[in-house]
Amino acid sequence: MTARGRPPLPQGEVKARAVRGLFDTVSPRYDLVNRVMTFGMDVGWRRRAVRELRLPGGALVADLACGTGDLCRELQRNGYRAVGFDFSLGMLERARTDAPLVQADILRLPVRDGTADGATCGFALRNVVDLTSLFAETARAIRPGGRVVFLEASEPEHPVMRVGHRVYFNRVVPLIGGALSDREAYTYLPRSMAYLPPREELVAMLRGAGFPDARRVALSGGIAQLLVGTRGGP
């Protein structure tokens, strides 16, 4: 138990199994809870994420941790060829996209080196067991000059906003999740923010993985963020 009487957050394989099970459980109402708890802002964040790719039409983009396929649909709307990867069968079964979907661990993508022109990844940084491995595996799968965009939740920088955000995320989100889906899962998800390294470290990690121009873009006053980068090469 931690000082506040909560069990410590899981690590390693235990975490991977817990995350897969959690998303299998929440999959039937995942989209609904997302829309309600973000007041629909998640739709705009995904649009912005895809806009930041800036790849030519027809480019092949791997959507990592695609879940129910929202980013795949947005990619296709923007003229890209999307392929989704996720390890939760529950999420994949509920996906609303005609993009090809692959059940796979995004830390071990079933693709050859340099296959994709780009990658997107929505709200999965705090769910993987090892961020360094995720960035390295993404770099392996992307051709030199390819582009990546990671979308993730974030804490606002402004101290007042940060307090309000913490109350909303830690107290209100579990209530919304409990009413519409699964209380335990939506108590864990805000707690899982603790897995995220500080923003400067995230950017440094992505640069170190082979995206030398990586930068961070804060969205909606800092409650969400994009990490954007171009694959160095060859």
Contact positions toward ligand SAM, by CB under 6 A? 19-20, 23, 65-67, 70-71, 86-88, 91, 105-107, 122-124, 127-128
Give 24 or 166: the residue with its C-beta nearer to ligand SAM: 24
Give me the least distance between CB of 222 and ligand SAM, in Å please: 19
Give me the least distance between CB of 66 and ligand SAM, in Å please: 6
Give me the least distance between CB of 131 and ligand SAM, in Å please: 11
**Angle, to 10 degrees, between the axis of helix 41-51 and the axis of helix 30-37?**
100
Strands 215-219 and 224-230, sheet pairing: antiparallel
Give 25 or 232: the residue with its C-beta nearer to ligand SAM: 25
Phi, psi for 62 (deg, rounded to 5): -85, 120
Give me the least distance between CB of 143 and ligand SAM, in Å please: 22
Q: Three-state SS across the chain? A: CCCCCCCCCCCHHHHHHHHHHHHHHHHHHHHHHHHHHCCCHHHHHHHHHHHCCCCCCCCEEEEECCCCCHHHHHHHHCCCEEEEEECCHHHHHCCCCCCCEEECCCCCCCCCCCCEEEEEEECCCCCCCCHHHHHHHHHHHEEEEEEEEEEEECCCCCHHHHHHHHHHHHHHHHHHHHHHCCHHHHHHHHHHHHHCCCHHHHHHHHHHCCCCCCEEEEEHHHCEEEEEEECCCC
Give 127 or 181: the residue with its C-beta nearer to ligand SAM: 127
Distance (Å, rounded) from C-alpha 219 to C-alpha 58? 27
Give 94 or 166: the residue with its C-beta nearer to ligand SAM: 94
Give 21 or 145: the residue with its C-beta nearer to ligand SAM: 21
Give 124 or 206: the residue with its C-beta nearer to ligand SAM: 124
Give 27 or 232: the residue with its C-beta nearer to ligand SAM: 27
Give me the least distance between CB of 185 and ligand SAM, in Å please: 10
Give me the least distance between CB of 175 and ligand SAM, in Å please: 19
Give me the least distance between CB of 12 and ligand SAM, in Å please: 12
